[in-house]
Amino acid sequence: MSSKEFAFELLPDASPNEHIYRLSGPLVLNNMFAFQAAMRAESVTTILDMTGVPYIDSAGLGVLTNAYVAHQKQGRRLLLVAVNERVHELFKLTCLDKLFEMFPNVESAREGLKSSSPSTPQTAAS
């Protein structure tokens, strides 16, 4: 398992109605709290670029699920980008692959936002 620390950053090309975060490192119990607070504070549609996330544990999965529910309750969307096969398998195992909208890259996620309703979740990018 990776010893890399989890980090997230709000990308500067975000619009007033859409924020894009780049995540890196494992999203696990001992490092999820700052990310959880950031997701709770979000008031716009959010795209999470998970290119640098090698794995997540059940606590990380809980943070993502709670963020999704909070976004939905407020009429916003939470989209996941570049989910690797290992993380995608966890989503499939927990049947959350049917819940989350997943896209291969940020550009396709932005295109997905143009649709008025959530799209069918996509498979993980190779």
Cβ partners under 8 Å of residue 62, min gap 6: none
pLDDT digits (tens, 9 = 90+) for 98-114: 999 999 999 999 999 88
Average pLDDT over residues 5-24: 91
User: Ranked by mean pLDDT, which of 2-6, 11-15, 42-46, 119-123 comes out on top?
Assistant: 42-46
| Residue 59 CB neighbour total at 10 angstroms | 15
| Domains within the chain, CATH numbers bracketed | 7-113 (3.30.750.24)
Alpha helices, DSSP H only, in 1-126? 33-41, 58-73, 85-93, 106-113
Task: Give yes or no for residue 120 having a pLDDT over 50.
Answer: no
DSSP 6: P
Task: Give yes or no for residue 125 having a pLDDT over 70.
Answer: no
